[in-house]
């Protein structure tokens, strides 16, 4: 295969970055993926099973690495990008260790991080030992070990709290993180699968089951698995002497106050942008959404292009998305990149790009 000399750098080797690398490689481009961790895969390395089909996350990871059969990208791990500087029609990508790369075009796929649930002091995360986040639970489920609370006991009553740090003016994030409702349904079912005697309650403001088969899974959670959904705003969690948790809420359907005890509370914390992504965006002159995610050029026709020519964005660095949506978004970004590269190839032919420290 003839390899195009134009060089594409993808920042972030999660689902979005890997899918884009495979598409661009297959299209004959020279691609370098820069990943800050010691391994690529992003959050798929942490998640256990994926909604909506409870597919093992390893299967999606295998699919992504199988995409590299034709013209594989150069993948560099332990390579954290700190800035992207547009320079003479190209882009200079600076790493934390001082290395630098030049690229004709850049795709930013640096993903998201979980909202810091400690900021919601009323829920007691990192204060009460049996208050955890959906992220912590996912890690625990991935081990395959029986679900236990801190004292080594099996939890009998478990509560999920939706919208932690999302749709919340006080926390500064008014957007919906989109995937936490269905994550709450997935994790509630998974707990019932492993602990059939457990009672599981989900406290929500609204349920947003936007994706294919999400509503069906929500119905299954209630009818097949006996998960109870309560439309209620949780105001406070306090710890009892025996380390169980007292939860106070208002049932917003009946208007009645609720007081219930639980052995384990799981906070469905929302998605927020990685602080480093914000720094990279600023260095490259990009614009941001109201939630501080990287903004696309146009919300209808050009979500993957940015206001800086030659810099593209895909995946959850631009908005909360599921894995399926992320992969579709990454493919969409590559189409835009290829047409941009073709237009710019004719306007200025450039020599093969070398790493700055080569
Ligand atoms: C608790 C939880 C459970 C979920 N479960 C599901 C599920 O079951 N099914 C589903 O469809 N979706 C699920 N999601 C959503 C899913 O995690 C995302 O759709 C997916 O991870 C998005 O992929 P991404 O590539 O955009 O980002 P990420 O997975 O975050 O990958 C980003 C990559 O970029 C790297 N990176 C970041 N900054 C830099 C930098 N400066 N330099 C170099 N590399 C960098 C990171 O290390 C990472 O490898 C869940 C989300 C949460 C919070
Ligand atoms: S997806 Fe559900 S839990 Fe997450 S912010 Fe939106 S409404 Fe709240």
- pLDDT tens per residue across span 170-179: 999 999 999 9
Adjacent-strand bridge partners of 249? 234, 258
Tell whether 228 and 317 lie within a shared domain: no
Q: Is residue 149 part of a domain?
A: yes
CATH code, 35: 3.50.50.60
pTM for this prediction: 0.95
Per-residue pLDDT of the chain (358 residues; tens, 9 = 90+): 778 889 999 999 999 999 999 999 999 999 999 999 999 999 999 999 999 999 999 999 999 988 888 899 999 999 999 999 999 889 999 999 999 999 999 999 999 999 999 999 999 999 999 999 999 999 999 999 999 998 899 999 999 999 999 999 999 999 999 999 999 999 999 999 999 999 999 999 999 999 999 999 999 999 999 999 999 999 999 999 999 999 999 999 899 999 999 999 999 999 999 999 999 999 999 999 999 999 999 999 999 999 999 999 999 999 999 999 999 999 999 999 999 999 988 555 444 444 444 4
For ligand 2, the distance from its centroid to the CA atom of residue 205, given in whole angstroms, is: 8
In a domain, 18, yes or no: yes
- Tell me if 191 is assigned to some domain: yes
Residues 298, 333: one domain?
yes
- The helix (H) or strand (E) run that includes residue 218 is helix 214-223
Residue 358 lies in a domain: no
Distance CA 288, CA 260 (A): 41
Domain end, chosen from 244, 270, 296, is at 270
Domains contained in the chain, number: 2
136/251 same-domain check: yes
Residue finishing a domain among 270, 305, 324: 270
Ligand nearest to the CA of 179: 2
152 and 231 belong to one structural domain: yes
What's the number of CA atoms in the CB half-sphere (13 Å) around residue 55? 12
Residue 255: phi and psi, rounded to 5, are 80, 5
Domain membership of residue 155 (yes or no) is yes
Q: Evaluate whether 237 touches 226 at the Cβ level (below 8 Å).
A: no
Domain stop point among 255, 270, 285: 270
169 in any annotated domain:
yes
Asked, for residue 258, whether it belongs to a domain, the answer is: yes
Instruction: Please work out whether the CB of residue 81 comes within 6 Å of at least one atom of ligand 1.
Output: yes
225: domain range?
117-270
Residues 53 and 15 in one domain: yes
Atom of ligand 1 nearest to the CA of 37: 47
Ligand 1 atom 15: residue of nearest CA: 322
**The ligand 2 atom nearest the CA atom of 178:** 1
- 181 CB less than 6 Å from ligand 2? yes
CB 29 within 8 A of CB 73: no
If asked whether residues 41 and 102 sit together in one domain, one would say: yes
249 and 125 together in one domain: yes
Mutate to test the pocket of ligand 2, among 112, 162, 319 (most ligand atoms within 8 A of CB): 162
3-state secondary structure of 210: coil
Same domain, 138 and 208: yes
Domain check: are 42 and 107 in the same one?
yes
The rounded distance, in Å, linking the Cα atoms of 158 and 77 is: 38
The pLDDT tens digits for 100-140 are 999 999 999 999 999 999 999 999 999 999 999 999 999 99
């Amino acid at each position: 295969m003839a390899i195009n000399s134009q060089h594409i750098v993808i920042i972030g080797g999660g689902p979005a970055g890997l899918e884009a690398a495979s598409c661009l490689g297959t299209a004959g481009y020279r691609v370098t993926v820069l990943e800050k961790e010691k391994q690529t895969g992003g959050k798929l390395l942490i998640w256990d099973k994926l909604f909506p089909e409870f597919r093992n996350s390893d299967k999606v990871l295998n699919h992504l690495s199988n995409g590299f059969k034709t013209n594989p990208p150069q993948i560099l791990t332990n390579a954290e990008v700190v800035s992207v500087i547009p320079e003479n029609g190209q882009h200079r990508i600076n790493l934390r260790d001082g290395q630098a790369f030049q690229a004709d075009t850049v795709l930013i796929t640096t993903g998201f991080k979980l909202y810091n649930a400690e900021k919601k002091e009323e829920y007691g995360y990192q204060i009460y030992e049996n208050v955890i986040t959906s992220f912590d639970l996912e890690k625990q489920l991935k081990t395959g070990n029986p679900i236990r609370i801190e004292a080594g006991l099996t939890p009998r009553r478990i509560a999920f709290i939706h919208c932690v740090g999302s749709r919340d003016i006080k926390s500064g994030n008014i957007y919906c993180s989109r995937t936490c409702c269905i994550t709450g349904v997935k994790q509630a079912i998974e707990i019932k699968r492993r602990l059939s005697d457990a009672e599981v309650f989900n406290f929500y403001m609204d349920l947003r089951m936007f994706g294919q088969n999400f509503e069906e899974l929500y119905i299954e959670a209630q009818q097949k698995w006996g998960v109870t959904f309560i439309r209620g705003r949780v105001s406070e969690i306090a710890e009892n002497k025996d380390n169980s948790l007292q939860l106070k809420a208002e049932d917003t359907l009946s208007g009645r106050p609720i007081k219930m005890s639980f052995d384990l509370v799981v906070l469905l914390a929302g998605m927020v942008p990685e602080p480093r992504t914000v720094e990279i965006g600023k260095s490259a002159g990009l614009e941001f959404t109201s939630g501080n995610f990287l903004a696309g050029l146009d919300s209808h026709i050009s979500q993957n292009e940015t206001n800086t020519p030659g810099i593209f964005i895909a995946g959850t660095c631009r908005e909360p998305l599921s894995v399926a949506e992320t992969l579709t978004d990454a493919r969409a970004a590559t189409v835009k990149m290829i047409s941009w590269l073709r237009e710019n190839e004719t306007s200025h032919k450039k020599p093969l790009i070398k790493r700055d420290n080569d």
